[in-house]
Amino acid sequence: MTGPLAGRVEFIARRADHEHAARMLRAFYAEQVGRYGFAESIALDPGQFAGPDGGFVVVYLDGEPAGCGCWRWHDRAAGVAEFKKTFVVPAARGIGAGRALLSRLERDAVTAGAVRGILETGVRNTAALGLFTSQGYQPIPSYVPGRPPEINRAFTRPLSAGPVAQG
């Protein structure tokens, strides 16, 4: 890694039930509850987020767990990967850690054969909305049955196009 994150941020593939992954998922959940008053469960089947069916990454900032994110197949036959639980703690925000995390997850999915990514976030998470749109994600109708459109936003982008240039 180069730039301001070099030597400070590291991404390590972990199982979703690793203690650092669990800690970051709990922090993500607490933030979501604080933002919306409720949150989707953070109980994940570790097998869905492990090779060859997906992946889970923990972000470390100066050696300490500082975020997480994961991906799994939404439609393997069509090459569509879903990105979930992308999160960085406040200390890791504004330095490019979230952007680098998303890029890492996308690269991992592309290596596994993905050609398109999908994800969703809430309308009150303006930082995530800004990140996803700045990376080329375009709005789509919800792909999860029962999601309230006044709260959730779904996005997609082709992954074969490679990462969006930063700058």
Q: What is the per-residue pLDDT for 150?
A: 87
Residue showing tokens 């593939």: 13
Distance CA 79, CA 159 (A): 10
Q: What is the mean pLDDT of the chain?
A: 91
Q: Report whether pLDDT(1) > 70.
A: no
Greater pLDDT, 82 or 46: 82
The tokens for 20 are 């650092």
Structural domains of the chain, with CATH: 3-158 (3.40.630.30)
Token pair recorded at residue 105: 């997850």
pLDDT, mean of residues 94-119: 96
Q: For the purposes of burial, counting CB atoms within 10 Å of the CB of 9, is it exposed (0-12), middle (13-18) or buried (19 or more)?
A: buried
Nearest to 57 by CA among 107, 92, 118: 107
On the question of pLDDT at 41 being above 90, the answer is no
Q: Cβ contacts of residue 49 below 8 Å, gap of 6+? A: 15, 16, 55, 56, 70, 71, 72
| ∠ Cα 39 159 129 (to 5°) | 35
Cα distance between residue 107 and residue 71, in whole Å:
11
126-163 per-position pLDDT tens digit: 999 999 999 999 999 999 998 888 889 999 999 975 55
Nearest to 108 by CA among 24, 155, 52: 52
